[in-house]
Amino acid sequence: MNNLLLAESLAPLLPIPKEEIAAMLEYPPNDALGDVALPCFVLARTMKQSPAVIAQQLAERLSHPGFRAEAAGPYLNFKLNRPSFAEELLLGAVTEDGFWRPNAGEGKRVVIDMSSPNVAKPFGIGHLRSTMIGNAISRILGETGHETVNVNHLGDWGTQFGKMITAYLKWGSPDVMASSDNVTKEYLALYVKFHEEAEKRPELEDEAREWFRKLESGDAQATKLWQEMIGESLKQFNKLYARLGVTFDHVLGESFYNDKMGAVIESLREQGLLEESEGALVVRLDEEGMPPCLLVKSDGTSIYATRDLATAIYRREQMDADILLYVVGGEQALHFQQVFRVLEKLDASWQGRCRHIPFGLMMMEGQKMSTRRGKVLFLEDVLNEAVSRAREVIEAKNPTLADKEAVAEAVGIGAVVFGDLKNTRTLDVDFSLKEVLNFDGETGPYLQYTYARTCSILRKAGAAIGQAEGAAPAYFELADNEYVWPLLKLISHYPTRLQQAAARYEPSILARYLLELAQAFNRFYHHVKVLDGGAAEQVFKLSLVRAASEAIRKGLSLLGIRALEEL
């Protein structure tokens, strides 16, 4: 008895379609109240009766072998017939693709701006958030019937390249770059040195401006140095992406849009949206209570916002985007509001197409980061540290495990990724490696460990399953067991939670669901001996373990975390 079937039996009694009824159904926090509930508040207006009266009347009129309906104040509570629920779920629903991949997106094409680190700068923890939240959103949307396009909008343009070229020519050395294990560290050192020296010798700033001007006008030496920085940085970034298991459909730097901004400025001018302000060109956003959007500086150069306008138009026209998502830190909220608003002024059909998906700051063990002073946590170092700690735990827990190195890599990185994704994305996160690696906490390793446990049960059951399945039909009466029912119910929630995560662009909904599921599974595992009992009981329990295993495996993969069969 899934929600749509429940809604179907309610539909003849209510003035709204069954899809809407299904969306109104809730899960009461406490099993004693019922397994599913219909809050009747919203119905009161259309039905011109109090919610409690509606609930009472519905309870009297409903009669169905799959459930019992009872009114409790403004709620209509359903107590499901658990054995038949279990049968429908385990023999029916979970064997169908539509359960695991509910089609909510109707094939809409979503272009996701994600990761987007800055060239010649460190790939820090903030970019990890954009990368992994973006990756999870992309996978979740892909699984729910959207077409996704992952775009890495590399920060490869701007006045800082003038500074970097100046610094590189004065203090840099190709040998140091070539022998470095992480060139972004050398670039950062140059960047910091530039700022230190420029405080003493302000003329360095003029030199930097001159180098950027040369770069903008296509000077050969400037272009060569700049391209080298992009190439070297990308090598470093690609190492990280490989470890994180993240791929992109397009890696297009901001510079790609240099020749596409003129047209945008032209259309803004034609529509009379461009105004002069102290020598610069801006679009006024007074009516929307926002500061003006600066597009062309007084020296004629474009800025970040100009490039984002050209980028959005390119994504819509050339990449066929129906929806444009920007997975970027919350500190850029105003920038995106301005850019989106300018697009809407340009053409009303932009309304509702673009969406900033912000996330909070991440601190590592209380440490904040600032690039200028060079106090930065490099993601690579964080991953290495997590993997080395994971290696120690695995060595202590399971010294005979095969392929320990690969397992440590998967567990260490999974811990960092899950430690990020389990948090509501807009919140700031203070990250502790010790916490995220705790195998008994609300962590990635805990989920990986639980998944490995399901695999080990299924392996042990091996031949027995086949025999038992041939010998006896599953004993669904076990659905009433106090450790079985919560697990069954949670498994049945998989599609709903996945759709919620997709609709709110919120991977933490899926992450927290997986924790609940793993906890319910482990309680079941500790209290109900899976491989005991007669054949019929075993068949039932194994089909339950199989479904739980499948849900955890799929969920982890949607979060970009590797599921290991042995741990």
Which chain residues interact with ligand ARG by CB under 6 A? 113, 116-118, 153, 155, 308, 311, 326, 328
Q: Which residues contact 268 (CB under 8 A, 6 or more apart)?
A: 274, 283, 295, 342, 346
Coil, helix or strand at residue 304: helix
Sign of CA dihedral 388, 389, 390, 395: positive
Closest separation in Å from C-beta 296 to ligand ARG: 18
Q: Looking at beta carbons only, is 122 or 495 nearer to ligand ARG?
A: 122
Closest separation in Å from C-beta 377 to ligand ARG: 15
Q: Looking at beta carbons only, is 112 or 222 nearer to ligand ARG?
A: 112
Closest separation in Å from C-beta 121 to ligand ARG: 8
246, with CB counted inside 10 A (0-12, 13-18, 19+), is: buried
- Cα–Cα distance, 352 to 374 (Å, whole number): 39
Q: Looking at beta carbons only, is 82 or 307 nearer to ligand ARG?
A: 307
Q: Looking at beta carbons only, is 73 or 231 nearer to ligand ARG?
A: 231
- Ranked by CB distance to ligand ARG, the top (closest) residue is 155
Q: Looking at beta carbons only, is 358 or 374 nearer to ligand ARG?
A: 358
Q: Dig out the tokens for 8 from the structure.
A: 């179907």
What's the Cα-to-Cα distance from 256 to each of 311, 384, 433, rounded to whole Å? 9, 33, 38
Closest separation in Å from C-beta 247 to ligand ARG: 18
Q: Looking at beta carbons only, is 150 or 311 nearer to ligand ARG?
A: 311
Scan for tokens 């995560």, then name that residue. 501
Q: Looking at beta carbons only, is 311 or 423 nearer to ligand ARG?
A: 311
Closest separation in Å from C-beta 17 to ligand ARG: 39
DSSP string for 306-340: HHHHHHHHHHHHTS--SEEEEE--GGGHHHHHHHH
Q: Looking at beta carbons only, is 155 or 507 nearer to ligand ARG?
A: 155
- Cα–Cα distance, 511 to 262 (Å, whole number): 44
Closest separation in Å from C-beta 278 to ligand ARG: 25
Angle of helix 379-397 relative to helix 220-244, nearest 10 degrees, comes to 20
Q: Looking at beta carbons only, is 256 or 513 nearer to ligand ARG?
A: 256
Closest separation in Å from C-beta 229 to ligand ARG: 15
Closest separation in Å from C-beta 305 to ligand ARG: 9
User: In sequence order, what are the beta bridge partners of 325?
Assistant: 112, 355
Q: Looking at beta carbons only, is 113 or 186 nearer to ligand ARG?
A: 113
What's the Cα-to-Cα distance from 15 to each of 58, 89, 114, 280, rounded to whole Å? 12, 29, 43, 58
Compute the residue count for the chain.
567
DSSP string for 243-277: HHT---SEE--GGGGGGGHHHHHHHHHHTT-EEEE
Coil, helix or strand at residue 127: helix
Closest separation in Å from C-beta 182 to ligand ARG: 18
Closest separation in Å from C-beta 422 to ligand ARG: 24
Q: Dig out the tokens for 141 from the structure.
A: 């949307």
